[in-house]
Amino acid sequence: MKTIVLGGGIIGVTTAYFLAKGGDDVTVVERHSSVAMDTSFANAGLVAPGHSYTWASPSAPGVLIRSLFRDGEALRLKLIPDWRMYAWGLRFLRNCTAARAQRNTSRKVRLSLYSQSQLQAVTREEKLDYSRISKGLLYLFRDQAAFDRGVRNSTILTDNGLPLEVLDRQTTIGKEPALAASGETLVGSIYCPTDETGDAHAFTKAIYDRCIGLGVKFLFDTAIKQVVASGDTVESVDTSKGCLAAQRFVIALGPYTPVVARTIGYNLPIYPVKGYSMTLPIAKEHEAPEIGGIDENNLIAWARFGDRLRFTATAEFAGFDTRHSQSDFAPMIKAARELYPNGADFTQPSYWAGLRPMTATGTPILGRSRHSNLFFNAGHGHLGWTWSCGTSRIVADIMQGRRPEIDMSGLTIG
Ligand SMILES: Cc1cc2nc3c(=O)[nH]c(=O)nc-3n(C[C@H](O)[C@H](O)[C@H](O)COP(=O)(O)OP(=O)(O)OC[C@H]3O[C@@H](n4cnc5c(N)ncnc54)[C@H](O)[C@@H]3O)c2cc1C
């Protein structure tokens, strides 16, 4: 079966991998000259079922409103003239009830646990090297009220099968000695021993190599302009290098999925949410952490990849703009220095910004569409690295006539 995968990010490349393993003749179409150059380039690297909470929660509307009036917030809303952002925002607000937050989080945990098992299986089978650290993740709290709230909220994760441990300050530092330098600002943590870290860009490149071995073709420097359909069948994609025909198509274009899907009439609830990352070199004299995690008060994540330490932060609603300036990183640098004052070389930062492809529910859009031979693997939001192998396995299973191994409610276009 000749299949075209649209998009060479982590989701497109893992989709190509599973389809090729199942016998498809796969071509990946990507506008950049290599894989994982957009959102999958420099994310936080957390494989984090322990952070499967949905963003749309009863407290989210208040946080959004406050962000309009205060600078330096972890969440930033820019009032840009883009009606799609407001339409998405209304859908998001509809999901902010306690009942919907509970339902959507349960779905996310289920997908995260399945996806992590798939990622581990692929890593084992293909012997992949992506600076993986399997020592759990620490979710840190800087004040008692936030810590108590975090522990209360975490029952939704433990009820769904996640092992979590509540640690006081001393035990937290025992787990990650580099935190000793963070002083009295740390109250305690929730530790998820099964969570992991790894470099998503390195992983995607390693899977790309395996794809080449499986006969997958990659058309780089090729921009997709539109999808061409006749009746309920997609016939081709129109690209900067001409028209490409196939028997079936998968759209895995990250935040740009709705832009291309619109060309054949889909109005997908995916909106770009910008995040920032800073990667620092680690030398012998530094006391870098090994265990990754999230500072829950400042919403800053970190992970170590060999001799590099990365911090990420911020959820900014500002359309497709990926530009960044030094001032965007100031709150991140302050919190990072408080946590790990000698964690890495803060004088040599590499800055980056990328767009999370967020749905209003927080769950991705997987599998069938209204067209008989068109499939989606999109809308992975803040968990696309965690979900990469699970969602791609699911989409390949659906396309190749196998039943997905988990309950699909809430994970389809319907
Ligand atoms: C700051 C930040 C931190 C994050 N941290 C984590 C984390 O710790 N853990 C986690 O699980 N997830 C994390 N994520 C989320 C994760 O990075 C994303 O969900 C994931 O990378 C999305 O992958 P994708 O393949 O769908 O999108 P992309 O990587 O963006 O891939 C889409 C591809 O489509 C291509 N494309 C788009 N339009 C066209 C076109 N018209 N023609 C041709 N090609 C096109 C793009 O060039 C791109 O290569 C983070 C994201 C950000 C921004």
Asked whether residue 121 is domain-assigned, the answer is no
pTM of the entire structure? 0.98
**DSSP string computed for 166-217:** EEEHHHHHHH-GGGGGGGGG--EEEEETT-EE--HHHHHHHHHHHHHHTT-E
- Ligand 1 atom 20, closest CA: 384
CA of 252 to the centre of ligand 1 (A): 9
- Ligand 1 atom 30, closest CA: 39
Q: Average model confidence (pLDDT) for the chain?
A: 96
CATH number reported for the structural domain that contains residue 276 in this entry? 3.30.9.10
Asked whether residue 414 is domain-assigned, the answer is no
Q: Are 258 and 222 in the same domain?
A: yes
Asked whether residue 308 is domain-assigned, the answer is yes
Asked whether residue 407 is domain-assigned, the answer is no
Asked whether residue 409 is domain-assigned, the answer is no
Residue to probe by mutation, ligand 1, list 356, 387, 389, most atoms within 8 Å of CB: 356
CA of 207 to the centre of ligand 1 (A): 15
Q: Are 82 and 186 in the same domain?
A: yes
Ligand 1 atom closest to Cα of residue 35? 49
User: What CA–CA distance (Å, rounded) separates 69 from 77?
Assistant: 10
Total number of domains in the chain:
2
Answer whether 300's CB lies under 8 Å from 113's CB.
no
- Ligand 1 atom 19, closest CA: 384
pLDDT (tens digit, 9 = 90+) per residue, 260-274? 999 999 999 999 999
Ligand 1 atom closest to Cα of residue 277? 1
Asked whether residue 408 is domain-assigned, the answer is no
pLDDT (tens digit, 9 = 90+) per residue, 92-138? 999 999 999 999 999 999 999 999 999 999 999 999 999 999 999 99
Q: Are 23 and 154 in the same domain?
A: no
Q: Are 234 and 344 in the same domain?
A: no
CATH number reported for the structural domain that contains residue 13 in this entry? 3.50.50.60
pLDDT given for residue 183 in this prediction: 74
Q: Are 146 and 247 in the same domain?
A: no
- Ligand 1 atom 35, closest CA: 7
User: What CA–CA distance (Å, rounded) separates 276 from 328?
Assistant: 8
Q: Are 234 and 324 in the same domain?
A: no
Given 359, 384, 407, the domain boundary residue is: 359
Angle made by CA atoms 129, 36, 119, in degrees to the nearest 5: 45
CA of 186 to the centre of ligand 1 (A): 32
CA of 133 to the centre of ligand 1 (A): 22
- Ligand 1 atom 12, closest CA: 383
Asked whether residue 353 is domain-assigned, the answer is yes
- Please report, as a single letter, which amino acid is at residue 264: I
Domain interval for residue 308:
46-107+133-196+271-359
Residues with CB under 6 A from ligand 1: 7-12, 29-32, 36-40, 43-46, 48, 223-224, 252-254, 256, 260, 275, 277, 301, 312, 354, 356-357, 380-386
CA of 321 to the centre of ligand 1 (A): 14
Q: Give just the sign of the alpha carbon dihedral 36, 262, 362, 210.
A: negative
> 73: pLDDT confidence band, cut at 50, 70 and 90?
confident
Q: Are 151 and 65 in the same domain?
A: yes
Residue 359's nearest CA partner among 338, 382, 342, 340 is 382
CA of 41 to the centre of ligand 1 (A): 7
Q: Are 339 and 210 in the same domain?
A: no
CA of 152 to the centre of ligand 1 (A): 32
Ligand 1 atom closest to Cα of residue 378? 26
pLDDT given for residue 68 in this prediction: 80
- Would you say residue 72 has pLDDT above 90? no
Neighbouring residues of 351: CB distance < 8 A, sequence distance ≥ 6 = 276, 277, 278, 324, 326, 329
Asked whether residue 413 is domain-assigned, the answer is no
Q: Are 34 and 175 in the same domain?
A: no
Ligand 1 atom closest to Cα of residue 7? 34
Answer whether 308's CB lies under 8 Å from 279's CB.
yes
- Ligand 1 atom 4, closest CA: 43
CA of 258 to the centre of ligand 1 (A): 14
User: What CA–CA distance (Å, rounded) separates 136 from 186?
Assistant: 18
Distances (CA, A) of 76 to 56, 65, 89, 316: 15, 9, 13, 4
User: What CA–CA distance (Å, rounded) separates 319 from 331?
Assistant: 21
What whole-number percentage of the chain has pLDDT above 70?
100
Q: Are 215 and 329 in the same domain?
A: no
pLDDT (tens digit, 9 = 90+) per residue, 138-196? 999 999 999 999 999 999 999 999 999 999 999 999 999 999 988 788 999 999 999 99
Answer whether 1's CB lies under 8 Å from 22's CB.
no
Residue to probe by mutation, ligand 1, list 13, 38, 249, 359, most atoms within 8 Å of CB: 38
- Ligand 1 atom 9, closest CA: 46
Q: Are 296 and 239 in the same domain?
A: no
CA of 358 to the centre of ligand 1 (A): 10
CA of 384 to the centre of ligand 1 (A): 7
> 69: pLDDT confidence band, cut at 50, 70 and 90?
confident
Q: Are 87 and 208 in the same domain?
A: no
Angle made by CA atoms 221, 222, 226, in degrees to the nearest 5: 155
